[in-house]
Amino acid sequence: MAMVNVTFIAADGSEQRIAVATGTSLMEAAVGQGVDGIDAECGGNCYCGTCRVYVDPAWQAIVGPQGEYEGPVVEATGDEEPSVRLSCQVTVTDELDGLVVRLPAAQT
Ligand code: FES
């Protein structure tokens, strides 16, 4: 297990940077460390769609596309931002050291 740095940029532009243990989901790390702006109502079960993040363009290829079960959940939220991922479905790896994601204005 290693630690990598991830930066969350809120809709108002404020940044929160946390150290995340590899193997953890981005959502668990963010919620566990008090990052504002991720509701995660279903607790990481790929169901609620309230853990959305927008992956910085420089990181999209490394983070990868939405998973098979993720797409319909995102669609149900009405969020049409192309870079959107459910943070509970992104497992942090060594490759993601320095990752930057943005947060929606609201997790509806
Ligand atoms: S926490 Fe509910 S979909 Fe991610």
Query: Count of alpha carbons within 13 Å of 50, Cβ hemisphere only?
Result: 13
CA 85 / ligand 1 centre spacing (Å): 10
Q: Which residue has the tokens 């309230």?
A: 50
The pick from 47, 53, 66, 103 for probing ligand 1's pocket by mutation, whose C-beta has the most ligand atoms within 8 angstroms, reads: 47
Nearest to 87 by CA among 8, 13, 3: 8
Residue nearest to atom 3 of ligand 1 (CA): 46
Strands of the sheet with 84-86, listed across from one edge: 15-21, 3-9, 99-102, 52-55, 84-86
Residue 104 CB–ligand 1 contact under 6 Å = no
| 3-state percent helix, strand, coil for the chain, nearest multiple of 5 | 25, 25, 50
- Tell me, in angstroms, the distance from the centre of ligand 1 to residue 63's CA: 17
pLDDT digits (tens, 9 = 90+) for 27-74: 999 999 999 999 999 999 999 999 999 999 999 999 999 999 999 999
- CATH topology for the 3-102 domain: Ubiquitin-like (UB roll) (3.10.20)
> Mean pLDDT over all residues of the chain?
97
Instruction: Tell me, using a 6 A CB cutoff, whether residue 42 lines ligand 1.
Output: yes
Greatest Cα-to-Cα distance within the chain, rounded to the nearest angstrom? 36
pLDDT grade for 106, boundaries at 50, 70 and 90: very high
Cα–Cα–Cα angle for 6, 47, 90, rounded to 5 degrees:
25
Percentage of the chain exceeding pLDDT 70? 100
pLDDT score at 34: 95
